């Protein structure tokens, strides 16, 4: 067992998408210097830069796990990947979601870990392994876990698009005959409140009340290690917190409706933003629906 180690990973694509390679280096502090205990470089076929970065991290994590490392300091020069994994950025490209989920599952196997973004110059050993593997079109280095046998070795289809697009691939943990698809989860809550619509040319300009029913739908193209899109209870708690300020209140006096009319349209948009800000990376909010009555429904989603 190794109490702590340092992991450097890197991935690169010559074309984005194009022929891609990955590399990792695992080091331990021997007292006088850092000692490399495992390293590897591998060509992975056609992929995008971001897919390669994630697959390099997966390979490095699986080798660290095989070495029985308990605490891991992780360095990578992909700011996007690091910020997605730390929750600062949301995942918008569905092709990265299964890779993100696999990294999260692997990280959970360590007692502790730290994720750090470094400049490319500070990640040179891993970058060198990427280019050695691409130039030789062969595996290089000394490693415990062969990348071809790792869960990160997804079968990427040739018809891929650059990282901003809808890359086509088989999600991690699934294989044909299952087809890539979108899972959507919907929960519902309600609150009671009064309001008055300023400037409205009808009776609703006067003080009146509603029982608002609010539905929230979120989606993901992958499932977690339990087989869930997202925990129903966790999403219900997020929605309850988003609505807590409004329940049994006069909305015209509650932020942000002290500055805007508390129409169903504005209410749906405000709730949407609150839910979006609270969701973890990898879970996409699809729609917020507000029912002012059993016959009146307003839906909001971002374009």
Longest dimension (CA), the chain: 80
The predicted pLDDT at position 128 comes to 96
The 10s digit of each residue's pLDDT in 3-37 is 999 999 999 999 888 899 999 999 999 888 899 99
Residue 92 confidence (pLDDT) above 90:
no
Q: Which stretch of 50-64, 110-124, 155-169, 281-295 has the lowest confidence by average pLDDT?
A: 155-169
The predicted pLDDT at position 267 comes to 97
Pick the CATH number of 2-149 from 3.40.50.2300, 3.30.300.30, 3.30.420.10, 3.65.10.10: 3.30.420.10
The predicted pLDDT at position 129 comes to 96
Q: Whole-angstrom Cα distance, residue 66 to residue 229? A: 29
The predicted pLDDT at position 152 comes to 54
Q: Which stretch of 85-99, 109-123, 129-143 has the lowest confidence by average pLDDT?
A: 85-99
The predicted pLDDT at position 157 comes to 36
**Beta carbons of 56 and 77 less than 8 angstroms apart:** no
Q: Which stretch of 17-21, 172-176, 282-286 has the lowest confidence by average pLDDT?
A: 172-176
Pick the CATH number of 183-300 from 3.40.50.1220, 3.30.479.10, 1.20.58.1880, 3.20.20.140: 3.30.479.10
The 10s digit of each residue's pLDDT in 208-252 is 999 999 999 998 877 766 778 888 999 999 999 999 999 999 999
Token output for 300 = 């909001």
Q: Whole-angstrom Cα distance, residue 259 to residue 116? A: 41
Q: Look over the chain and give the mean of its residue pLDDT values, rounded to a whole number.
A: 87
Residues of the chain within CATH 3.30.479.10 domain(s) are 183-300
Average pLDDT over residues 84-92: 90
Token output for 27 = 């080091």
Residues of the chain within CATH 3.30.420.10 domain(s) are 2-149
The predicted pLDDT at position 173 comes to 35
Q: 26 or 154: whose pLDDT is higher? A: 26
The 10s digit of each residue's pLDDT in 130-141 is 999 999 989 999
Share of the chain above pLDDT 90, in %: 70
The 10s digit of each residue's pLDDT in 29-68 is 988 889 999 999 999 988 899 999 999 999 999 999 999 9
Residue 163 confidence (pLDDT) above 60:
no
Residue 177 confidence (pLDDT) above 50:
no
């Amino acid at each position: 067992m190794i109490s702590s180690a340092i992991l450097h990973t890197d991935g690169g694509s010559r074309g984005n998408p194009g022929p891609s390679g990955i590399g990792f280096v695992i080091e331990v502090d021997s007292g006088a210097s850092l000692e490399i205990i495992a390293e590897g470089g591998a060509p992975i076929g056609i992929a995008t830069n971001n897919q390669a970065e994630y697959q390099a991290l997966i390979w490095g994590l699986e080798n660290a796990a095989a070495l029985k490392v308990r605490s891991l300091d992780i360095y990578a020069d992909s700011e996007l990947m690091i910020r997605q994994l730390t929750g600062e950025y949301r995942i918008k490209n569905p092709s990265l979601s299964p890779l993100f989920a696999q990294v999260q599952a692997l990280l959970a196997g360590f007692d502790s870990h730290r994720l750090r973004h470094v400049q490319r110059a500070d990640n040179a050993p891993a970058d060198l392994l990427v280019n050695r593997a691409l130039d030789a079109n062969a595996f290089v280095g000394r490693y415990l876990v062969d990348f071809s046998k790792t869960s990160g070795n997804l079968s990427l289809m040739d018809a891929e698009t650059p990282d901003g697009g809808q890359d086509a691939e088989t999600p991690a943990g699934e294989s044909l005959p299952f087809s890539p698809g979108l899972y959507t989860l919907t929960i519902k809550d309600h609150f009671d409140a009064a309001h008055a619509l300023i400037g409205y040319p009808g009776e609703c300009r006067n003080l009146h009340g509603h029982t608002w029913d609010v539905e929230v739908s979120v989606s993901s193209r992958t499932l977690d290690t339990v087989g869930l899109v997202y925990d129903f209870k966790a999403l219900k708690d997020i929605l309850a917190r988003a609505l807590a300020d409004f329940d049994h209140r006069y909305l015209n006096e509650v932020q942000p409706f002290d500055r805007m009319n508390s129409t169903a349209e504005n209410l749906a948009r405000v709730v949407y933003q609150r839910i979006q800000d609270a969701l973890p990376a990898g879970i996409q909010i699809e729609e917020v629906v507000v029912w002012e009555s059993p016959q009146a429904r307003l839906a909001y989603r971002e374009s």
